[in-house]
Structure 1
C-alpha cells in the first residue's frame, strides 16, 4: 500500500490550500474528498469577497489567517491569471444606532492594521454610489476589500498538488481509521490508504471525522444556511463598491455586491438547520433578499433575478476558528471556518504548516498553472478566434473552454464541477438552452454524468 506524508481530508477551499502548501514543500500529499469534485460541499457557495479582516476579532487567529491569506493571494494571482475586481467596500449605517457604531468599527479596523479606512458622510457616499438609497446616513470605506473568482483559485491550488505528484481521490468518504504510532491507516469508500499525518479539513463534517477517527470531537458543527439571489448582468451598472451592513455579534449580515461574472449578488441569509447535506432555496427568504436589495439600491426594483442558490456554512457553538492539534497522533483539525474561509485559506495553510514544524524542506515549485479567465471585465475566450462554437450563450462559454476543462489535469467529476470551471448553464436560462448540447459534449467523460447520460 502506498504511504503518503500527509493526508488531507476534504477538498474545499481550506483543504485545497493546505494540500498545496504541503505539496510545495515536497511532501507526498493525498487528498480524500467525499464529493465528486473539489468545492463540492460548503465551499461551492462562497460569496467571493476578498476580506481585509477589518472587522475580525482583534488579535485572533482568524485575523492573522485572513491577512496572511489576503497578502499571499495578491502575490500569486498574476502568475495564476486570477482576476480581481477592485471594488472596495462601504459599511453603510442606515439608522442612528448603526451610525453611532461606525466609530468603534473604524477603531477596530485600525487596531487590526487596516489603517486606510475612513468614515464617509452621507453626501460622499452618494457621490461614490449615486444609485444608493438616500436613507444612507454614513459609512466606513474599506478600500482593499475586493471581489474575486470564487472557484478558480482553488482549482489552481489543486492543480499544483497534482503537478507536484499529489493524488486527489473523490467519492472517498473517510469511514474509519487507526493510528499505529507511526502513521494512519484510513478506510474510505475508495479503499484503504496510509499516511504519516492527517489534516482534517472536512468542513460540515469536521466533527464527525474527528469523532470517527479520534474518538472525540472538540467542537460541534451547527450548519448555518445562507441563501443568495443573483440579479441580471444589467444590474452591475448600478453599483461599484461592496455594500456591507454594520455587523452584529452573530452575523456579518446581508451584502450587496457585484460579482466577477458581471452580475449583482445579494445575501446571505443566516438560518440555523440540522441537515448538513441539503441547502434548499425558499421563496419567502429570497423575496426578502430581493426586497432588501431594492431598499439599498432602489433601481434594483423590478430588475430580473436570474439565479438563486443556497449554501451551508460550518458554524460551531463558538464563533472563532476551531483549529486543534493532536501532536501524539500527528493530526490537525481545521474546523469552524465560516464566511472568511475563502480569504483565509492560504493563511490557514501557513498556520497548519507551522504547527507540524517538521517535514520535507521546501522545494523549487513548478511554474504555477494559469487559469482560464471567467471574469466579464477582462478578455474572454470567445473574443479569440478558433473557439469552434459558443455552447452557452448566456455566459458566452465556448466549446474550446469546455473541452479544455474536460481534458485538463484536474477534470471535473460532475456537472457542478464543469459549471464551476466554465460558467456553463449558470446564466439567464440556467441551462435551458445549452443543456442538450452539454449532454452531447460530456457524454462518457464525467465520472458522475448528467441525468439521462449514458455511462
Structure 2
C-alpha cells in the first residue's frame, strides 16, 4: 500500500508531489497521459498573476498572492524561466474608471504590493503600442510571466529526485474507501493508498463525487483559443496587457513570453467535451477582433501557431482544497490563476496530508534542481569547451530555436523524461519555432528511437495512438 497517491500530473499535482517529498512517505503520481504537463498546464496564458482580480476573502485570492510571492525564489531554486515583467489592466473609457478603481481596491485588500493607477501619458511611455483609446491602467509590478512547461517539469523532476514515483498511461476509472485508506481502480489494475490527492484537472469533479456524493461538484471545461507569434513580434509589448472588462466586453490579453514570442488570447467558451482542445474559426476570429482594443498594430500575420487549452471552471469560481472524506484530499477546480497559485497550492495540500498521516520530515530532501543546459546562454569560449567535452552540443537539430542534440539527450534521460516529440518540444523547444517542427521532427524521432531502444514506428507525437509512422513505402508496394 502506498502512503499517498496523487491523481494528475499537471502543475497542481506536481506541486503537491514536490512539497510532499519534503516528508518521508511512499508517494505515487498517476496520469492517464504519457507525460507530465499534458492537460490544462500545457496550454494557458503562462501568466503569474499578481492577485488583484480574485474576490477578496476567497481561497483563490489568498493562494494567488502567496503563489506569486513564492515564484521568484522557486524559479531560482528549481531553475526554470520566469520574468517579473509586471502587468497592466487597461481602461478604455472614462466611464469604466469606477471599475478600475474597484479592481485596485480589491488588489490592496488581497495584499498585492506596489499597485497603482497610471494615467494616459505614463501608460503610453510604458507601452508605446497601447491603444489610442486607453485612458488609464492598473499597474501591478509583481505580475510576471513563466514557462508553464518549465515550471511543471521542474516540480516533477525535483519530486522524483526526492523519491516520488510517476506512473503514466494509467487512467483512473474509480476510487472507493477501504480499511485504512482508498482503493484506486485503474485500467492497469487496482492500487491501494492511505491517502488520495485529487488533482485531476477538468476530471476532478468525477473523483470528488465518488468520494462525497452528498456535496456534488460540477466542473465545466472552459476553452481558450490563442495565437502565438514569432520572435520578431516578441517586443510589441513589454508587459502583460489585460483589458478591463467594460462596455467593450471582457477582451483578451497580449503578453510577451519568457522565450521571446508574443501571445494573444484567450477566449472563454464553455464546452461539454473535456478533451476538445481544437481551435475553432469562431474562437480565433474573436481573439483577432478583441486583441486590438487595448494594443494597436498587433502583427498577427507573424502568427506561427494557434492552440486552445481547457480550464477547470466551477460555478462558484474558487479553488476547492481540503479533506472531504478521511484520507481523501481535494485539489479541485484549479482554473486561472492556478498556474500562479501552484507553489502555494502544493504547500497547502502538503500541510493537510502531513497532518492527516502524521508524516515526518525527509532528512534527505533536496530543494534544488538544475534545468536543461542551453548552450545559447554560454559565452563563445564556454560553448566551445562544452562542445569539445560533449560533441552532441555542437549538433544543431532544431534550426528555428537552435536546439542541440545534447539538449534533447538531456531531456530524454531525465526522470521523468521525454518519450515523444511533444515531450522533447516542451522541454527543449525543438519544434516550437516558426517552421513548427517541419524540419527537425525526423531527426528528433531518430534520437528518441535510438535512446529509448525502440523502432521509429513506435515514436508518437504525444503518446497513445498519435504515431507518426504508419507504414513504410516498400511495404505498400
Normalised by the shorter chain, which TM-score bucket? over 0.9
What does residue 3 of structure 2 align with? 5
For residues 250-289 of structure 1, what are the structure 2 equivalents within 5 Å? 253-289=251-287
User: 1:40 Cα deviation (Å)?
Assistant: 0.8
Matched, 1:425 2:431: yes
What does residue 37 of structure 1 align with? 35
Structure 1: segments with no counterpart, 5+ residues: none
Structure 2: segments with no counterpart, 5+ residues: 388-392, 462-466, 472-477
Mean Cα deviation higher: 184-193 or 108-117: 184-193
Separation in structure 2 between the aligned mates of residue 348 and residue 301 of structure 1, nearest angstrom: 37
User: 1:408 Cα deviation (Å)?
Assistant: 1.3
Partner of 2:75: helix, strand, or coil?
helix
Separation in structure 2 between the aligned mates of residue 374 and residue 141 of structure 1, nearest angstrom: 33
User: 1:78 Cα deviation (Å)?
Assistant: 1.2
User: 1:112 Cα deviation (Å)?
Assistant: 1.1
For residues 65-80 of structure 1, what are the structure 2 equivalents within 5 Å? 65-80=63-78
Separation in structure 2 between the aligned mates of residue 63 and residue 307 of structure 1, nearest angstrom: 32
What does residue 345 of structure 2 align with? 348
For residues 328-343 of structure 1, what are the structure 2 equivalents within 5 Å? 329-343=326-340
For residues 392-431 of structure 1, what are the structure 2 equivalents within 5 Å? 392-431=398-437
User: 1:155 Cα deviation (Å)?
Assistant: 1.0
What does residue 384 of structure 1 align with? 383
User: 1:62 Cα deviation (Å)?
Assistant: 1.0
- CA offsets per residue over residues 308-334 of structure 1, 9 Å max, x none? 10011111222111234234x310111
What does residue 442 of structure 1 align with? 448
Give the total of aligned pairs.
449
Do the aligned partners of 1:439 and 1:453 also contact (CA within 8 Å) in 2? no
Separation in structure 2 between the aligned mates of residue 382 and residue 96 of structure 1, nearest angstrom: 56
Do the aligned partners of 2:267 and 2:286 also contact (CA within 8 Å) in 1? no
Partner of 1:404: helix, strand, or coil?
helix
User: 1:264 Cα deviation (Å)?
Assistant: 0.6
Separation in structure 2 between the aligned mates of residue 60 and residue 253 of structure 1, nearest angstrom: 24
Partner of 1:354: helix, strand, or coil?
helix
Partner of 2:29: helix, strand, or coil?
strand
Separation in structure 2 between the aligned mates of residue 411 and residue 265 of structure 1, nearest angstrom: 27
What does residue 372 of structure 1 align with? 372
User: 1:373 Cα deviation (Å)?
Assistant: 6.1
Do the aligned partners of 1:26 and 1:360 also contact (CA within 8 Å) in 2? yes
Instruction: Tell me how large the CA RMSD over aligned residues is.
Output: 2.5
Do the aligned partners of 1:4 and 1:29 also contact (CA within 8 Å) in 2? yes
After TM superposition, the runs of 4+ consecutive aligned structure 1 residues lying more than 4 A away are: 212-217, 373-376, 378-383
- CA offsets per residue over residues 284-340 of structure 1, 9 Å max, x none? 32233234334433332464111110011111222111234234x310111111111
User: 1:342 Cα deviation (Å)?
Assistant: 0.6
Partner of 1:384: helix, strand, or coil?
helix
Q: 1:247 to 1:28 in 2, by over 3 A?
A: farther
What does residue 87 of structure 1 align with? 85
What does residue 169 of structure 1 align with? 167
For residues 32-181 of structure 1, what are the structure 2 equivalents within 5 Å? 32-181=30-179
User: 1:199 Cα deviation (Å)?
Assistant: 0.6
Separation in structure 2 between the aligned mates of residue 379 and residue 51 of structure 1, nearest angstrom: 31
The TM-score normalised by the length of structure 2 is 0.88
User: 1:73 Cα deviation (Å)?
Assistant: 2.2
Do the aligned partners of 2:449 and 2:459 also contact (CA within 8 Å) in 1? no
What does residue 204 of structure 1 align with? 202
Do the aligned partners of 1:234 and 1:263 also contact (CA within 8 Å) in 2? yes
